[in-house]
Amino acid sequence: MDSQQTKTHISDVVTASIVFDFATFYVWAVELFLEGELEGGMIHPAGIKEGMFVPVYVAGFDQDIIDAVDAGIAAVQDDTIDLTEYFFTN
């Protein structure tokens, strides 16, 4: 295999990202704190379900992938997928 065959072509790379929505995080945290439901000294699971992770795509991104990501996010938000099964929390 020559070096040309081993290079990843830009067309083979998924160009997307995730933005952490700090505004949503702070509203979530302050509301829980004011309600007395945000205990100190522990990890509080928060993220996709609370709308804190927002996918970002470049122009012309494949709509099938966007739809699949949206379906995955919806499945987390409606508890079809429970991410706490995959991650240690307290």
- Residue-level pLDDT at 58: 83
User: pLDDT tens string for the chain (90 positions)?
Assistant: 455 555 555 556 667 788 999 999 999 999 999 999 988 888 888 899 999 999 998 888 889 989 999 999 999 999 999 888 887 665
- Residue-level pLDDT at 60: 83
Nearest Cα residue to 21 out of 63, 44, 54, 45: 54
- Residue-level pLDDT at 1: 47
pTM of the model: 0.69
- Residue-level pLDDT at 57: 87
Nearest Cα residue to 56 out of 12, 13, 15: 15
